[in-house]
Structure 1
Amino acid sequence: MGDRSKPRRGSMGYSPRKRANRQYGRISSWPESDSAEIRVQGFAGWKAGMTHLLVRDNNPNSSSAQQEVRKAVTVVEAPPMSVLAVRGYRMTPYGMQTAGEAWFNSDSGPEGLSPRLANQSRGERDAEEGRKPSKRAGRIPSRGEGSPDAALEALREVDLCEVRLIVSTQPALVKSVSSKTPEIMEVALAGGDNASKLDWAEERLGGAITLDDVYETGQEIDVVGVTKGKGWQGAIKRWGIKLLSHKNSKRRRQGGNMGDFGTGYVRKTIRQAGQVGYHNRTELNKRILRVSNPEESDITPSGGFLNYGEVTNPYMIIQGSLPGPSKRILRFRDAIRPRPAKPEVDITYVSTSSKQGV
């Protein structure tokens, strides 16, 4: 328990502190927008590393107005994302439910978008693709036959409350990550009505969306990612509780008691050992200081980013730190709690010196 002299450490608002289900963040809500222009509200990229830059303070009310200020920044590599499908939602007494989807017909599309064969075991698929057959059971669910045009017409006849895109990353374009399996995720659309959103999505079905299509310099966004995993740790490191007295003969790095005597179980509010890190966390209002690509302005430091290497795709520089280690995939969305607009960004210097400690 906390008191006036020593507040309680460790927020119970994040409980249960368990491992994330997947390596990339989960976005459960998207901001509302009354804009007339239709645009994508989310993107994804890989965390390359951190550096620093000098930016001119253009805030006239600041004590450092018109002076160069040093900022710690994070570089995120974000190649284009493939648009695989459009999904419509309808409102029910139980909340939003999927009304239908229209997937891109991969037979006539670019390479790399072909789905796995339906009703085929994983072992058969692995053997066909030249890998060691997997021993996992189960078959891939079969996909109903039908053209995307028919699926879109069916969506237009439904009273939809929201339209979203199903997109995938392209890790094959990133040299620094070992996994080449695309991550499939959902992103929201802002602006216009649902009919115009369906038309907008139909034009881009099977194509790609780039970082420039979604975000611009000076914009504030929310970053969703999975933090660095620390494994199983004790209560001292996990919750910051006080060490017991040296006179305690049995233990020092545990809690003093496990609750009252009468209760027949240990309450969940008792601070015990458990998982630390690898949690889904959201950073609010992170400012984009630059959206560019290596052809316009090279960002890779001498010797490459530590544990990452070279940035070869479009990237963005975000002020401050972001959750997770290097090579961790991060998701971005429009700010759900936007702040007043700030003066434009004026970068005077970006450090590309070696991060190898030499």
Structure 2
Amino acid sequence: MPTIKKPRSGSMQYWPRKRAKREIARVRSFASGAEPELLGFAGYKAGMTHVMMNDNKATSKTKGQEIFCPVTIIECPALIAASIIFYKKTTNGLKAASAVMASNLNKELKRRISIPKSIKKKIEDFKAEEYDDIRMLVYTQPKLTTIGKKKPELFEIQLNGKIEEKLAWAKDHLGKEIQVTDVLKEGQHFDIHAITKGKGYQGPMKRFGISRTSHKSEKGVRTPANIGPWTGAKQWTVAKAGQTGYHQRIELSKWLIKVGTKPEEINNKSGFKRYGIVKNPFILVKGSVAGPVKRLIILTNPLRPNKKIPKEAPSITYISK
């Protein structure tokens, strides 16, 4: 009998496979853009549907024809710029040196952080040449949705441009709403940052995708046949049972096929299952997105754009409700 060869089951990229520390994904790197702008946005996953669209991929066999495409709906209520954070370079990398908060923050933000009664620092007192980087601290408005939540999420987003351009852009938008139409455009690519669906404690077959052993195997057939060497305090190359899901993951180069401002284009009478009615601007993303419904999805400029995906949005002929 020939020797059977197959790739190992389960990726060694992620270790340890444990629950994420918080429900909001942590963005560690941003791609630069062309103009002074916010390099990301966020929204709540509402569910999935399908559309009929004209295929505009140059190398596709169905180019110019009407095709079926599954899409994910992400509701994107406006973000509000809560604070500007100023960074300086140190021997240990960039460190936050100072910050200035907006004076007109929503009362719901008190559920997340303690808001100062009076703001002593003014944006006019900060000079761009004294700092090495400037970022925006923004928060969401889940109260505008139907997910039954008021406590906003708070996270940082990088700004694009030179340090002077960043400061000028931040001054104009501090304390104001930032709409999804100001950041995302139809046809563009972006990366998805999210926490996946939690599955709890699962066995090695579901957790790593190993094969079922022979029915004559002793002590179980849904377990690995060899659990590794005796030496070594811990084995991590062998598939074992444990926590599955609720991990932070990034998906590169997703395709934005529509930015909508009319929720009636996608809403049905009963709303989306376990979510409700979409009331705010929304986006349609080709394919699936990590996480269950109601989870916050952070969208950022693509780090490695896929050249095979068109840069123009397809023409949509039908959206299933």
- Pairwise same-fold verdict (TM > 0.5): yes
* In 2: Cα distance, 1:182 partner to 1:199 partner: 26
Q: Which of 244, 256, 269 pairs up with 2:237? A: 269
Q: Which residue of 2 aligns with 1:112?
A: 107
- Tell me whether 1:68 sits opposite 2:75 in the alignment: no
* In 2: Cα distance, 1:339 partner to 1:269 partner: 32
Q: Which residue of 2 aligns with 1:218?
A: 187
Q: Secondary structure of the residue that 2:13 maps to in structure 1?
A: helix
1:88·1:155 contact (CA, 8 Å) conserved in 2? no
Name stretches of at least 5 consecutive residues in structure 2 with no aligned partner: none
Q: Which of 301, 305, 310 pairs up with 1:334? A: 301
2:187·2:255 contact (CA, 8 Å) conserved in 1? yes
Shift in Å, 1:274: 0.5
2:189·2:311 contact (CA, 8 Å) conserved in 1? no
Larger radius of gyration: 1
**1:143-292 correspondence to structure 2 within 5 Å:** 146-149=119-122, 153-154=125-126, 156=128, 158-160=130-132, 162-175=133-146, 177-191=147-161, 193-261=162-230, 263-292=231-260
Q: Which residue of 2 aligns with 1:93?
A: 91
Q: Secondary structure of the residue that 1:190 maps to in structure 2?
A: coil
* In 2: Cα distance, 1:322 partner to 1:205 partner: 30
1:288·1:319 contact (CA, 8 Å) conserved in 2? yes
Q: Which residue of 1 aligns with 2:277?
A: 310
- RMSD of equivalent CA atoms: 2.4
Tell me which amino acid in the other structure corresponds to 2:153.
Answer: E
Q: Which residue of 2 aligns with 1:136?
A: none
Shift in Å, 1:256: 2.6
Shift in Å, 1:250: 2.7
* In 1: Cα distance, 2:299 partner to 2:232 partner: 45
**1:35-50 correspondence to structure 2 within 5 Å:** 35=34, 37-50=35-48
- Percent identical among aligned pairs is 37
1:53·1:347 contact (CA, 8 Å) conserved in 2? yes
| Structure-2-length-normalised TM-score | 0.90
Shift in Å, 1:239: 1.4
> Which string of whole-angstrom CA distances, capped at 9 and with x for unpartnered residues, describes residues 19-73 of structure 1?
111122211111123x2x2111111111111111111123454321221011000
Q: Secondary structure of the residue that 1:199 maps to in structure 2?
A: helix
Q: Secondary structure of the residue that 1:72 maps to in structure 2?
A: strand
Name stretches of at least 5 consecutive residues in structure 1 with no aligned partner: 119-139, 353-358
Higher mean C-alpha deviation, range 5-14 or range 265-274: 265-274
Higher mean C-alpha deviation, range 236-245 or range 299-308: 236-245
Q: Which residue of 1 aligns with 2:14?
A: 14
1:101·1:155 contact (CA, 8 Å) conserved in 2? no
Tell me which amino acid in the other structure corresponds to 2:22.
Answer: R
* In 2: Cα distance, 1:146 partner to 1:65 partner: 57
Shift in Å, 1:348: 1.1
* In 2: Cα distance, 1:59 partner to 1:251 partner: 49
Q: Secondary structure of the residue that 2:240 maps to in structure 1?
A: coil
